[in-house]
Structure 1
């Protein structure tokens, strides 16, 4: 029988509610200000517009989940992608005044919705920090201290209030560790705790899916979980079945689920972005042909199998320096190069980075003179000997023992011209399909990746990647090089455009080459092929990076020797900067140093047989160091090895770990190292430091929110370090 009345009892942590509300207020209030593009919003905005138009792109800085989340906010706000993200403002000095040409958002665009999800993620980091400290078995006072440090950190507020990804990354990382510790601390017989483990795995996948730097924290969590599993295996009180079940759940939730979700982010990404875009040429011909528009309009309905007499364009598989096609034209190599070396003076063969009628070649059977496809077509297979005839000049692709112009260790490749000298033609090439599934496999359009091996010398046709001088019109050099010397990535060629030739006469053939035909046949590649190619391109193809005015070195972050000017009002001194709270930044650094010294002292004394702490206290101290100190290390040290443009905001995930470490270390010192009198002094000092942190936060609020406007003298007073770049106008 149902008993009435129904009673629900709930426990509510009012401190947690309070810090959550304060965090939402500091991150969400006035979110639409300024109504202009701010710093890296111009970078993410370009991808956002492409996302809204379902146009394919590559961002080498991170996986697609972050862009998808930003696009979700834009979609909810009704953004259609029609906005030109071309500038945030160019600074130029004019009488001690630096003017920013601001790109304002149109009134029809909901700026609030664009920035909503990053702001929510940043706001929820504060209560997550509170809960995480509690799961580390620290007191509610320590949890409150961690929450206040996160709440009053100006740089975290700034980074959360714009269309940027660091706040989402930090949110998912903190959620992953909180969920895992909640699982680890739950009673062993509580099956509901595996829900927390699953949430931890999902959060790890989301962190890595937002930015690749999330991988650092994910690996740390895997290390922590491995240590716990090793300890579990040695627990004799646990049955074999219990140990296997718990370890199996960890493998499933922390390894299998993140990998599957990571792939799922790409599946959603590729399902949405189905239209040809600005980054198509970075991808293979098969990938391009799977997109709507672009290459697919050119290649739709092409014959699949290459036959003798086929007219083809051959695209190099080399990812660098640029995508290009095998090309020739009516210009010869110079008789002598600038360094005095002689050439064959044959017709130039290059790799050209643009579509051109001179990219067409005809596959010829060496035993026959016809340049048309028979009926039925005689298909070209792996291992066949072929000749390649340049469509517009009828020159045969040739190589011989003459040094290439820019790569003298390799052979020159040319279109053969008979000058009646003792240089016989060597124009036979053996076709090797290196992604074949059978020895007699047919040569297929777009699908087959082939090598062309010179029969006389066994050299392989390849793109050297070096530009030719002016006499070669700055096109890319093509050479023939021995397989053992050549780099495998530059050896491959793919048939991109293809038709069956029907014209034997040169004039008719030239007209045919200028007039491609199409048949309505669709051809697609599998998701796994697209996923592996896209992932490889994201990891290997780097966009050109130039030195940025506000870029910085990792060692400058620790003492906050740098800042970033995010926005300046076009006519007043109102401005926004990425500057941290100097007091809390210093507290974080002191905490890290103090923990390292204290840990070294404890370890030395334990080695000598002294036990300064009970086992439980030592375990808590070690756990705090492993998670917080280790989190700082894995999120900071890798940047010391990176050769890329770095900014202050790259340090924010590492900084958050120090804000978790500080109150936990303070509690440890208060509980285990100080006398009663000293504890009172510590409490007074802690209160003074917290007040200083708040005053520092309040002092820099005008640079955090861009409001109120300050005078030039007030701005100059905020320049606490000479290395900071504070912008102001003198009136």
Structure 2
């Protein structure tokens, strides 16, 4: 936003950092502080001699001529009297990488004249490189892999794969310290731990069945066993395929990376519940019995408890306005 004033810095401490110089603006027609409004642009890289400077892709440092400080900023905002705007000040160490800027917009000068000497029309049009589908696909996968491999910085809400099935911690999406408000991603505790129990019970059933069959015992009917191995076993493979690779990654990891595996574990829990509540498989039609009503009541009761827990913790993630 044009202010119709000149940028100025002087040997006065900035509001938030006493070691840095204050930056402000000065009236354009007042020449009493002319020297304090003199800056030079220093390119932040060794550009070829005839290469033009480009907005958004060209980086520079703005150096104050009299004091040699560089235009610099930091994340901390100014107090209420400055409407909590981001502060800029003069850094006495121009070599810092955080003192590098780029041009976002080109606007008219003080005489409302558009910038001259633009040569966009004379530039050769770049023709996109022709690539077939498979080359594009491979390039995309490699770029995604490289980008993910570079996300190695620490994060306060990062968590390891061992913690995910137990929902030990969630992710904070937004926090307002003044009003003590927060939007927090957290799973349904009952549903999450039901999936853990379902996984454990399924592994226990499979282990017990294998041990019993080695001793010439057949505790599970063949039709029930086949469905348990084929359906629930497939869900277990899906869970492992989406979960195990994260143990090999050295990047930032969050609880939302477990969501595909969590869905598979929910299917496992449902299959285990069906196995526990079913004696056998009746073909082609299963008729309702007294046990059918018990199974229905069990499922409805569990669903009600699950829904009540969702209602209880929903404001954390979905928020509501009074």
**TM-score for both structures, normalised by structure 2:** 0.52
Task: Select the residue among 273, 276, 283 that pairs with 1:669.
Answer: 276
Structure-1 residue corresponding to 2:130: 526
Aligned runs of 1:66-105 on 2, under 5 Å? none
Matches within 5 A, 1:121-520: 354-357=45-48
Distance 1:540 1:359 in 2: 33
The structure, 1 or 2, with the larger RCO (C-alpha pairs under 8 Å, 6+ apart) is: 1
The correspondence for 1:578, drawn from 167, 182, 185, is 185
- Please list the CA deviations of residues 171-197 of structure 1 after superposition, one character each: whole Å capped at 9, or x if unmatched: xxxxxxxxxxxxxxxxxxxxxxxxxxx
Q: Is the 8 A contact 1:636 1:654 kept in 2?
A: yes
Which residue pairs with 1:630 in the alignment? 237
The runs of 5 or more residues in structure 1 that have no matched partner are 1-352, 361-472, 474-517, 710-731
Match of 1:649 in 2: 256
**Contact 2:152-2:250 within 8 A present in 1 as well:** no
Deviation at 1:522, TM superposition (A): 6.2
Any idea what the Cα deviations from partners look like across 1:505-544, whole Å, max 9, x if unmatched? Answer: xxxxxxxxxxxxx895866532146655454343345435
1:38 paired residue number: none
Question: Does the C-alpha gap of structure 1 residues 708 and 696 become closer, same or farther in structure 2, counting only changes over 3 Å?
Answer: farther
The answer to whether the Cα contact below 8 Å between 2:151 and 2:251 also exists between their aligned partners in 1 is no
Q: CA deviation at 1:576?
A: 2.1
**Is 1:696 the equivalent of 2:309?**
yes
Q: Distance in 2 between matches of 1:531 and 1:649?
A: 25
- How far did 1:572 drift? 3.9
Aligned to 1:536: 142
User: What is the CA–CA distance in structure 1 between the aligned matches of 2:264 and 2:211, rounded to whole Å?
Assistant: 25
Q: Distance in 2 between matches of 1:533 and 1:663?
A: 40
Whether contact under 8 Å (1:588, 1:662) holds in the other structure is yes
SS in 1 for 2:172: strand
Instruction: Output the CA distance in 2 between the equivalents of 1:534 and 1:359.
Output: 33
Where 1:357 maps in the other structure, the secondary structure is coil
Distance 2:236 2:321 in 1: 37
1:533/1:608 CA distance change after superposition, 3 Å? same
Alpha carbons of structure 1 residues 640 and 543: separation in structure 2 relative to 1, 3 Å: closer
1:546 counterpart SS class: coil
Out of 190, 196, 216, which is 1:589 matched to?
196
Shift of 1:355: 4.9
Give, in angstroms, the shift of residue 701 of structure 1: 1.7
Q: What is aligned with 1:241?
A: none
Query: Deviations 1:413-446 (Å, cap 9, x if unpaired)?
Result: xxxxxxxxxxxxxxxxxxxxxxxxxxxxxxxxxx
1-side partners of 2:260 and 2:138: how far apart?
Answer: 29
- Give per-residue Cα distances to partners, 1:7-41, cap 9 Å, x unaligned: xxxxxxxxxxxxxxxxxxxxxxxxxxxxxxxxxxx
DSSP 3-state at the match of 2:204 = helix
CA distance in 1, matches of 2:203, 2:158: 29
Verify the 8 A CA contact 2:150 2:251 in the aligned structure 1: no
Distance 2:267 2:48 in 1: 63
Are 2:293 and 1:602 equivalent residues in the alignment?
no
Give the number of equivalent residue pairs: 200
1:253-282 Cα deviation digits (max 9, x unpaired) = xxxxxxxxxxxxxxxxxxxxxxxxxxxxxx
1:533–1:589: structure 2 CA closer, same or farther, 3 Å change rule? closer
Q: By how many angstroms is 1:606 displaced?
A: 2.2
- Asked if 2 retains the 8 angstrom alpha-carbon contact of 1:574 and 1:706, the reply is no
Displacement, 1:662?
1.8
CA shift, 1:628, in A, is: 1.7
Instruction: Give the 3 Å change call, closer, same or farther, for CA 527–354 of structure 1 in structure 2.
Output: farther
Q: Tell me if the contact between 1:574 and 1:707 (Cα under 8 Å) persists in the aligned partners.
A: no
Q: Which residue of 1 aligns with 2:265?
A: 658
**For 1:582 and 1:589, how far apart are their aligned partners in 2?**
11
Change (3 A) 1:602 1:547: same
* Residue 617 (structure 1) aligned to one of 224, 236, 247: 224
Are 2:152 and 2:252, in contact at CA under 8 Å, matched by a contact in 1? yes
- Structure 2 vs 1, CA of residues 702 and 357 (structure 1 numbering), >3 Å: closer, same or farther? closer
Q: TM-score, normalized by length of structure 1?
A: 0.25
RMSD, matched Cα: 3.6
Measure the CA separation in 2 of the matches of 1:699 and 1:358.
65
Give me the whole-angstrom Cα distance separating, in 2, the residues matched to 1:689 and 1:532: 46
For the residues of structure 2 that align with 1:525 and 1:647, how far apart are their CA atoms?
37
Residues 524 and 635 of structure 1: CA distance in aligned 2, closer, same or farther (over 3 Å) = closer
> Could you tell me how far 1:671 is from its partner in structure 2?
1.4
Task: Quote the residue 1:287 is aligned against.
Answer: none
Residue 656 of structure 1, CA deviation = 0.9
Structure 2 distance, partners of 1:685, 1:531, is 48
* Shift in CA distance, 605/525, structure 1 to aligned 2, threshold 3 Å: same
Find the partner of 1:548 among 155, 163, 166: 155
SS of the aligned residue for 1:555 comes to helix
Q: Does the aligned pair in 1 maintain the 2:171–2:185 contact within 8 Å?
A: yes
Distance 1:574 1:551 in 2: 21
